[in-house]
Chains A and B, each alone.
Chain A
Amino acid sequence: MLSKSSKNRILFLKRFSPVLVIVLIFSVAAILAVGCSSSKPYATGPIKTFDPDTTRIPMPSRKEQFQYWDRIDNSTFHQIGKVLDLNRVLRFFGKPLGLASPREADNVNKLDDVPESSWYTYRHYHNPMTQEELARGPNTVEPDTSGPWYIFQAKLEGAMGGFFFEDASGERFLAKFDGPLYPGLMSSVEVIGSRIFYAAGYTVPEATVAYFDPEQVFIRPGVEIEDNGEMRPMTMEDYRSIISGQGLYEDGTMRVFASKFVDGRPLGPWRFRGTYRDDPNDRVDHEHRRELRGMRVISSWVNDTDRRDANSMFVYNDRGYIDHYVQDFGNILGANGHTIHRPIQGQAYLIDPRFMLLNTVSLGTYVPLWEKIDGSYEFPQVGYFRADVFKPGRWVPTHPNPAFENMTLRDAFWGAKIVMNFSDEDIRTMVETGLIYDERAVDYLVETLIKRRDMIGRYWFKRINPLDRFEAGLNDKTLQITFSDLYIDGNLNTPDSHRYQYYIEAVNGEFLAEGVTDDSFIELTLPGHLLNGDNYQVIKVELHTLRNYDHLGDQKIDVYFEVGRNHTRLVGIDRDV
């Protein structure tokens, strides 16, 4: 016989057991999900510098390009889906309580860096480029304007008018024209954007501003154009309609943005979320790739507001794998395609529930920044591009981008150090490739980019300790460690404003040294037993930056070096956030 209390308990269980089961399952799952396994913060073998996603694969099928669904999906359903993903919710609430850590990127090595892959190449930050290389960017060839151009395909996709042509040398390009109200704007930002993103390490199509003779353009037989939903042969009248509104220069030429056909077979856009099922090399969710998350900082620098799925491209190359292109830079700097950016762009999403709620509950008393500033501009060839209203930490593209949304402080630091690595001279070199005819406009654009770059550095380098480029050398038994303070290197403050506190120990816990140094150099004599024998020993250098002016950016960095008898090597960097 069951007692009354037992019966009550059973009735309770009977009534609530399904709910209890679900709660229990989710609770245990939460504990398991949050309690991740840990691995050593350093490598004892080689450092990974390449992600082998370049294995030969059969050519995947082509994906259709859509202009709208990714915007709708990322603006609405993805936002709801985020709330329903309890992993994300638990992290959100667990972070302030110290119970969860940010979801870091999946493709970073022990030096907190991105290995090269089909997505990313070490360029200006890792291997400094010359001014000539920065100016050339991805270009291998430019359109031949000495002979006729033949249109071999009409441009049906995208918002801007243009056509595909073959020049006298047989090279194939896409031609896109400036908006009639802003001559020279879109073409210049397309080229400048391609140089910046190329130097940052991304794969971009070749891009050039070209001046061609509009009378020397002809249409190849068989070219079709869409007219009211029907396809029909393209005529010279269609061509003239495309170029109408474009001004002629004194020599009778017309300005156009020309993008060379990429090597390989374009397969449509890749997404900023998930992986491409048809590509077995694609193993890392795109929203968890460091180079895509950190791209948010680079995009914020140049106000790249239209960075979304439709402006990317899979290309199956001749070596049998997929290259991942970033393309369409017509919505960066002051340009918004054929027109100019509005003050709200970069400040808020096209549909932004955060501000909508704020506006609503404040009964209109909250006035967002973009309502306080006008959208005026000084130079039509620059459009609306300002530094004074730029908020590096709050910058968003026009539509939510899943990879950008996942950006953590470490991702942001990665992006910021790439941006800060461009010198004033580098910036001017890249801006000048846009062939902006007004020298004052060039100066303004360069100046604004420099200001925004420095704002990025000041913002992000105050949130994570910006010490980088660690190196170590052994001089007899003396270990010499050098590093860079990117805040000081970026001329954001004077060297005498920073000091560095260090604490050095072997990973087995043996104390080695501690102290404070005024410059980015540490020297210590290693005990003999560390250097005896053939084995290597790993030592940990714990670093803090002491700033004279505030305590921001003084988080700890643990740097790991492998030391041996005749050998030192950087094997790990662990940044506190």
Chain B
Amino acid sequence: MLHQTTGLKPLLCSVIFLLLLCAVPVVSATGLSADSTDTTAIPEDHPNLQPYETSYNLAQHILALPSYIFYWSTRPLGWGVQYAETRYPHLFEGERGDYGIFPLFESGSKVRFAAGALLFHQHLFRQNHEARVQFLYGTDDYWDVHAQYRVPVSQRHNSELIFSGNYERNPRHRFFIEDNRLFYSAEDASFRIQYNSSLSARMRMQNSVTYSNNTARTSSAELPDDPFTFPDELKGNYEILTFGNQFALDFRRGDMRKVSGTQFIAGADLATSLKNSTSYLTYHLEAHQFIPVPFLPESRRIGIRGMLLKSELLSGDEIPFFDLPALGGSRNLRGFRSERFRGSGALIFTAEYRYPMWDVLDVTLFMDQGQVFNNFDDIAFDRFESSYGFGVHLLTAKGLAFRAELAFSNEATRYILSITPTF
């Protein structure tokens, strides 16, 4: 019986409540008409002395309750924005100012939570000498620091010198052997000097020299009874010096929203181990073609990319595994995990249809096809891995600011957030 009363009680109460509600005189929400309807009105009751008023009856308040709750739950954000507008107006003006600091957060990836900051200065030491330092700390085993200093070369238009250094510790770096995912602990440091220059209106060149120090160890994520463990022969420390060179021939026209035409990129990196006699060459060839869709505005365009990467051992035993071409990740075969496929060569084709969603937003539908190989003879149609998806690109006058994509493959569905364009 107790159950019976507790079950009916709310209903009974609600019926009584509703009956009471019905008894409440309903006032029109169309306003209290102040026009007199009383012919015996005395001057004090003249409608011009009766103010209008917006009023709502109880029923209308009940119906509006969800919006009231939502309204008040968003007010603290408003107060925050107003405070920020007062204290940091430049944040709202699309300008970063000459220097500043931005917080960085990362959650749910290698560690539960990591935090850091991005510091930048647009004119450090000299006018237009841009510096930025970014650090992110999760645990003692998971943190990284990136620093960069860009120096414009005044004698040459669109030329610059870039000094950059990185240090990164990641105890759960992914590594795949066929379909098995393994982990290793990586500690990587590098320093790079890069020179970018425009040789002509259509030709760009990039030269670089990079020193890197990479260590691969057993990961803390590896369990003793795992059937597959990171191979011992891949563990160790690698010290490598790399000289890179890249040329780009750019026959594209229009701004990035209405781009059409072709771009060719060719480059080669010569790497030498500082610990043994290993040396190897990695070259890549890349072509981008942008085609406007007929009968529609130029902002509807199809982008096609073809890219070939190949590493060739010149001397020594073998190329360090982390320097072998890899597919999978945010820029190719996006439906697969990062560096899912690795070989001495990689071939990737991408087709994207990009069209405007809004002023600075593009929608993109894409299809990636790629395969890794060790010899050119291994390349075969039936070995291509497929990935497809869609996304949204946020554009600025300078180019891509941000992209969010959802990619699918036969192995995974991946959500990609990136500030780096695919091509």
Contacts and interface: CB of A to CB of B under 8 A. Distances in A.
Interface in A11-52: 11, 13-14, 17-18, 20-21, 24-26, 28-33, 35-40, 43-52
Interface string A265-281: 00000000001000001
A84 interface: yes
Nearest to B392: A360
Given A26-B63, A51-B52, A67-B85, A284 B31 contact: yes
Contact of A285 (B54, B357, B358): B54
Contact of A36 (B30, B51, B58, B299): B30
Contacts of B4: 2, 10
A353 to B, nearest CB: 9
Given A14-B3, A37-B26, A352-B358, A28 B46 contact: no
Contact of A33 (B7, B29, B35): B29
A77 B45 CA distance: 41
A281 B53 contact: no
Nearest to A86: B63
Interface in B1-39: 3-4, 6-8, 10-11, 13-15, 17-18, 21-22, 26-31, 33-39
Nearest to A571: B35
Contact of B358 (A11, A28, A355): A355
B418 to A, nearest CB: 20
A53 B119 CA distance: 53
B53 A45 contact: no
B49 interface: yes
A32 B26 contact: yes
A308 to B, nearest CB: 15
Tell me which of B13, B26, B353 has the highest count of chain A C-beta atoms within 10 A of its own C-beta.
B26
B82 interface: yes
B37 A64 contact: no
Contacts of A21: 10-11, 13-14
Nearest to B1: A2
Q: How large is the interface on A (under 10, 10 to 19, 20 to 34, 35 or more residues)?
A: 35 or more
Contact of A364 (B18, B63, B77, B356): B356
Contacts of B11: 13, 17, 20-21
Contact-residue size bin, chain B (C-beta under 8 Å from the other chain): 35 or more
B36 A356 contact: no
A68 interface: yes
B397 interface: no
B97 to A, nearest CB: 8
B67 A82 contact: yes
B277 interface: no
A105 interface: yes
Interface in B76-102: 77-78, 81-82, 85-86, 92
A194 interface: no
B361 interface: yes
A371 interface: yes
A256 B108 CA distance: 57
A25 B82 contact: no
B82 A64 contact: yes
Interface stretch (A106-114, A245-253, A322-330, A505-513): A106-114
Contacts of B82: 64, 66, 69
Contacts of A536: 39
B10 A85 contact: no
Interface centre among B28, B29, B58 (most CB of A within 10 A): B29
Chain A interface, >50% SS class: loop
Given A14-B7, A69-B78, A364-B293, A32 B52 contact: no
A494 B26 CA distance: 47
A68 B85 contact: yes
Contacts of A355: 358
Interface string A339-366: 0000010000011100110011001110
Contacts of A371: 297, 299, 356
A29 B66 CA distance: 13
Given A14-B3, A86-B63, A86-B66, A46 B357 contact: no
A489 interface: no
Interface string B282-323: 000000000001001101100000000000000000000000
Interface string B50-76: 111110011110111011011100100
Given A32-B58, A48-B34, A86-B66, 6 more contacts: A40-B37, A45-B39, A81-B70, A106-B53, A356-B361, A371-B297
A-B pairs, 10 with minimum CB distance: A45-B36, A364-B355, A106-B31, A14-B7, A32-B59, A48-B47, A43-B35, A86-B63, A85-B67, A29-B59
Interface of A: 2, 10-11, 13-14, 17-18, 20-21, 24-26, 28-33, 35-40, 43-53, 64, 66-69, 72-73, 77, 80-82, 84-87, 90, 103-110, 115, 275, 281, 283-285, 288, 344, 350-352, 355-356, 359-360, 363-365, 367, 371-372, 536
Interface of B: 3-4, 6-8, 10-11, 13-15, 17-18, 21-22, 26-31, 33-39, 41, 45-54, 57-60, 62-64, 66-67, 69-71, 74, 77-78, 81-82, 85-86, 92, 293, 296-297, 299-300, 353, 355-359, 361, 363, 365
